[in-house]
Amino acid sequence: MGDDCFSHAEEKEYDKSVTIAYVLEEITHYVPSMYNVVWTISSPDDLVGFIITDNQGNAEIELNIQNKEIVKLFSSETGVELHCRYYHQSSFSWTDGKTGEYIEKYKECGTLIDKVKMHCLDF
């Protein structure tokens, strides 16, 4: 997560027939419960999906790739590493330290998930 010096890595083993949606649902129980954030879930090769939380901390998943059996999505026989990163509204706004100007990145986007998707497209 990048919030401290300790690894938050967790290793899980799944049956090859489970879907990526199932794995993302499982990840909703792994990531810290936070309100009004969007988590991106990515593999070394692809942006897999998003976990979107509301102002009560309820999580909803959205896939960025087709929902298939996990064995069909990743070619590695030894497993796949997924990375979780969160964004909140202030990830896209700040005050310029030199000019004092308020900067809002992706102000054309109406929602946080839209800003996150736009940010991911930039990379």
Does the structure show a pLDDT above 80 at 6? Answer: no
Does the structure show a pLDDT above 80 at 1? Answer: no
* DSSP, residue by residue, 34-100: -SS-EEEEE-SS-EEEEEEE-TT--EEEEESS---BHHHH---SS----EEEEE-GGGGEEE-TTT-
pLDDT of residue 121: 86
pLDDT of residue 123: 67
Boundaries of every domain in the chain: 20-89
User: Is the distance from CB of 43 to CB of 80 less than 8 angstroms?
Assistant: yes
Please choose, from the candidates 123, 40, 28, 30, the residue with its C-alpha nearest in 3D space to the C-alpha of residue 85. Answer: 40
List the structure tokens of 104: 């809002």
How far apart are the C-alpha atoms of 83 and 81, rounded to whole Å? 7
- Give per-residue pLDDT as tens, 29-85: 999 889 999 999 998 888 999 999 999 989 999 999 999 888 777 666 667 788 999
pLDDT of residue 27: 93
- Give per-residue pLDDT as tens, 75-116: 666 677 889 999 999 999 999 999 999 999 999 999 999 999
How far apart are the C-alpha atoms of 63 and 27, rounded to whole Å? 13
pLDDT of residue 118: 95
User: What is the pTM (predicted TM-score) of this model?
Assistant: 0.85
